[in-house]
């Protein structure tokens, strides 16, 4: 085979390079939808590498010293085309997938920002609505109590029961409104506390006296086991009162018969409060979700449909914000419940 001239070599290389470059640009512009800013030059670098291999193998094919070498180089050229096109298509697909993922991430970010705005608007609405409801509910409770106490004259006996229902419903509605306001406060960054040093033993004694009447009305025996020595906390007295009464309210509500035992002890510089009842109990598979927001137990809804599942969530937030913890133990449905609260104590 005669030796090729320099012009022939350059001509072949130029034709191959020009054809391959057109092919590469076609692939890229098709991928980028004719927008040069959308071209991925990492892909182009891979394609240029493939182009170099094609050019080299095709040049060797044209200027092989024998027919056998020409056939071998032609086979290599065909294989390089197959593998090169496959590689380019794979990379293009990977880049396209990556861009789709990035677009999805950006869309999710936009949706998340919108949801955050809506959540803020929801919290603002709940806060305004709750504040607006407070005054009329307080008026209903106040006037119902005044009527029951005889301030507007003698009350017929048959009116006392419905007036009592009005008072109880007003109290429940007031508690619900306060819970909503606490939830809004927690979502906005946490509850604020007015801490002071006080004797928890005295607070627990007052709570017991307050709930004895309610327990007697339901035919329940309210028992207590309190330490004889003062137990001092540096905490928000009102919030601690709210937390303990939330637990007791649940025990009274979901205990049909038997007893409720409240205790206070001092263990390793911690105040330990327990509330144990003989009520409906908690299924083991539901105990882990008991303190979640808007969570209600399956057996609780059969007894009281008015609850919204916020009391124990707020209680947990208050206790943990004071450096303490709360836990629950129950042997199962119908076997009672034990709540345990631990709070750090201070010296007087």
- 127-166 pLDDT, tens digit each: 676 667 777 888 888 888 888 888 888 888 888 888 888 8
The secondary structure element, H or E, covering residue 273 is strand 270-277
CB-based contact 265:302 (threshold 8 Å): no
Burial tier of 288 (Cβ tally within 10 Å: 0-12, 13-18, 19+): exposed
CATH of the domain at 239: 3.30.565.10
* Of 174, 190, 206, the domain-final residue: 190
Q: 176 with 200, same domain?
A: no
Task: Average the pLDDT over 301-319 and give the result.
Answer: 76
Q: 73 with 136, same domain?
A: yes
Note the pLDDT of residue 79: 76
Burial tier of 101 (Cβ tally within 10 Å: 0-12, 13-18, 19+): exposed
Note the pLDDT of residue 157: 86
Higher-confidence residue of 87 and 317: namely 317
Task: Average the pLDDT over 55-64 and give the result.
Answer: 65
* Of 143, 175, 190, the domain-final residue: 190
Note the pLDDT of residue 34: 46
Q: 174 with 30, same domain?
A: yes
At 289-302, the pLDDT tens digits run 888 877 777 666 66
Q: 247 with 284, same domain?
A: yes
Task: Average the pLDDT over 189-216 and give the result.
Answer: 90
Least confident among 42-56, 123-137, 170-184: 42-56
Higher-confidence residue of 50 and 150: namely 150
pLDDT of residue 173 exceeding 90, the answer is no
Q: 181 with 246, same domain?
A: no
Task: Average the pLDDT over 320-341 and give the result.
Answer: 91
Q: How far apart are the first and last CA of the chain?
A: 109
Higher-confidence residue of 205 and 183: namely 205
Q: 241 with 332, same domain?
A: yes
Higher-confidence residue of 185 and 303: namely 185
> What is the C-alpha to C-alpha distance for residues 283 and 68, in angstroms, rounded to an integer?
82
Q: Is residue 217 very low, low, confident or very high in pLDDT (cuts 50, 70, 90)? A: confident
pTM of the model: 0.59
% of the chain with per-residue pLDDT over 70: 73
Q: 54 with 158, same domain?
A: yes
Domain that holds residue 222: 196-344
Q: Is residue 11 very low, low, confident or very high in pLDDT (cuts 50, 70, 90)? A: low
* Of 130, 158, 190, the domain-final residue: 190
Q: 44 with 17, same domain?
A: yes
Nearest to 244 by CA among 206, 217, 301: 206
Q: 146 with 200, same domain?
A: no
Q: 185 with 298, same domain?
A: no
Nearest to 234 by CA among 89, 346, 112: 346
Task: Average the pLDDT over 25-47 and give the result.
Answer: 56
Higher-confidence residue of 246 and 53: namely 246
Q: 178 with 277, same domain?
A: no
Higher-confidence residue of 54 and 306: namely 54
Domains contained in the chain, number: 2
Q: 210 with 314, same domain?
A: yes
User: CA–CA distance from 263 to each of 26, 110, 276, 342 (Å)?
Assistant: 81, 51, 9, 12
């Amino acid at each position: 085979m005669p030796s090729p001239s320099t012009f022939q070599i350059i001509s072949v290389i130029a034709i191959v390079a020009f054809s391959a470059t057109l092919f590469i640009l076609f692939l890229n512009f098709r991928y980028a939808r004719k927008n040069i800013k959308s071209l991925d030059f990492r892909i182009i670098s891979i394609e240029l590498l493939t182009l170099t291999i094609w050019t080299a193998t095709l040049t060797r094919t044209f200027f092989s010293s024998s027919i056998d070498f020409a056939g071998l180089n032609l086979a290599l050229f065909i294989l390089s085309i197959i593998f090169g096109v496959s590689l380019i298509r794979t990379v293009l697909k990977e880049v396209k997938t990556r861009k789709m993922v990035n677009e999805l991430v950006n869309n999710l970010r936009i949706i998340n920002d919108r949801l955050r705005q809506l959540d803020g608007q929801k919290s603002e609405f709940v806060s305004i609505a709750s504040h607006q409801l407070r005054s009329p509910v307080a008026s209903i409770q106040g006037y119902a109590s005044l009527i029951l106490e005889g301030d507007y004259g003698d009350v017929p006996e048959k009116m006392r029961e419905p007036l009592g229902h009005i008072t109880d419903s007003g109290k429940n509605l007031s508690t619900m409104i306060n819970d909503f306001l606490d939830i809004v406060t927690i979502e906005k960054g946490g509850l604020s506390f007015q801490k002071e040093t006080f004797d928890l033993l005295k607070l627990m004694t007052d709570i017991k006296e307050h709930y004895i009447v309610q327990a007697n009305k339901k035919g329940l025996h309210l028992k207590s086991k309190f330490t004889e020595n003062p137990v001092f906390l540096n905490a928000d007295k009102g919030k601690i009162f709210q937390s303990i009464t939330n637990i007791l309210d649940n025990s009274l509500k979901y205990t049909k018969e038997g007893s409720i035992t409240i205790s206070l002890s001092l263990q390793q510089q911690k105040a330990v409060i327990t509330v144990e009842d003989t009520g409906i109990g908690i299924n083991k598979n539901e105990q882990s979700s008991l303190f979640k927001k808007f969570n209600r137990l399956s057996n609780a809804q059969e007894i009281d449909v008015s609850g919204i599942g916020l009391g124990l969530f707020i209680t947990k937030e208050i206790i943990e914000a004071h450096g303490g913890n709360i836990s629950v133990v129950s042997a199962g449905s119908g076997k009672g419940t034990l709540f345990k609260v631990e709070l750090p104590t201070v010296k007087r």
